[in-house]
Each structure stands twice: as C-alpha cells, then as structure tokens.
Amino acid sequence: MAKLYFNYSSMNAGKSTVLLQAAYNYEERGMNALLMIAAFDDRGGKGRIASRIGLAADADIFTAEDNVFRHVEKVNEKTPVDAVLVDEAQFLTEEQVWQLAGLADQMGIPVMCFGLRTDFQGKLFPGSATLLAVADNLKEIKTICWCGRKATMVARLDGNGRIVEEGEQVVIGGNETYVSLCRKHWSRRELA
C-alpha cells in the first residue's frame, strides 16, 4: 500500500541529501523515482535538486498553478513512475498536497515530500500545514542549534547578519539568509 510521507525539519538538516539518497536507492534497484522541486527555487539551478554536501540531480519543476497529479500521470504514461520525491514541499499548495495523496491512494505510487515545517516567523507554510494534516507518515529530520540543542526554528538574516522579523513568507536563500535555532534562542533572537 503506497503512502504519502512528509519529512520535515528546519534549514540545513539534510532534507535534500536524504531525498537524493532515496532516489539513488530506487535507481539502484532499476526503478524510476520522479523528482520534483518548486520552480522558483533555483539555488541548485533551474529544475535541479542540490544538497550542501555536493549531491545533485535533475528534477521536474512545479508552480502553484500546476496539477501535480496530472503531471505524474503524463510522465507515467511514457515511463513507469515507481515513486515521487518532492523537495521544498512547503511550497506546494493545499490542493497539490491532496493531489499527491491521490497518487498514493489511486495510483499506488509512494510519495515522499521533504520540506520546512515553519517559516522565519514560526508560522506553518500552507503546503506543510496540509502535509502535517494528511500525510500517512511524518518524520522529523533533525539538526542542531549553535548551542547544541535540537533546532526546530528558522531565523532569517539581513545582509548584515542580523535577524529579520518582518517580510514576505518566501525568500529563497541559503546559509547567508537563514539559520536554524532551537526554540529558546529563536524566541530570544540570539545568534551564538
């Protein structure tokens, strides 16, 4: 029985690395994993999932307007899809999460989503909120704060390395823009 999985964490926990390892495992067994990433996340290149440790793979892109069920259905007509792996799943819409659930429920394709749970203000992303509500399996991928405690929050930094408390929910960036903190240091706005 196929399931919808949500692997979540704060920044820099290795979500993309785990996704790429899962894709490799499918490939090694002669199976086809369809990789997907949000169109506007081009840090690794357009339509490319890249990890901080140097692993990378090409991926199909999705926008908020796309029907991901139909997309996978079309790909599956040409090449059987054994699994769908979605990076940056926080950028999925609520409707797209339900479409992914439909892939598991109706087509029997396992769907593994990887993404942030909350934004820099501690608010759930719409895609993450829906995944937390409907996924069959939830798994936290852990990383640590500068103090050594488990990091569960993400802080956004300005160009001078100071914590930003206001702004758009989505700003694409890496280590220069975001830092993972434990709840205590996130609440206090303390960077080492």
173 band by pLDDT with thresholds 50, 70 and 90: low
Q: Which domains does the chain have, with CATH numbers?
A: 4-142 (3.40.50.300)
Please pick, among 88, 165, 176, 190, the residue that the annotation labels catalytic: 88
Q: What is the pLDDT of residues 116-159, one digit of tens each?
A: 999 999 999 999 999 999 999 999 999 999 999 999 999 988 88
Tokens of 45: 């290149």
Q: Residue 18: what pLDDT? A: 95
Q: What span, in angstroms and rounded, lies between the C-alpha atoms of 127 and 141?
A: 17
12 band by pLDDT with thresholds 50, 70 and 90: confident
Q: What is the pLDDT of residues 87-122, one digit of tens each?
A: 999 999 999 999 999 999 999 999 999 999 999 999
Q: What is the pLDDT of residues 29-61, one digit of tens each?
A: 999 999 999 887 666 667 788 888 888 888 999
Q: What span, in angstroms and rounded, lies between the C-alpha atoms of 55 and 77?
A: 29
Whether 88 is catalytic: yes
For 30, residues 6+ apart whose C-beta sits below 8 A from its C-beta are none
Cα dihedral 102→108→114→118 (10° resolution): 30
Instruction: Look at the block and give the residue holding tokens 């979500």.
Output: 15
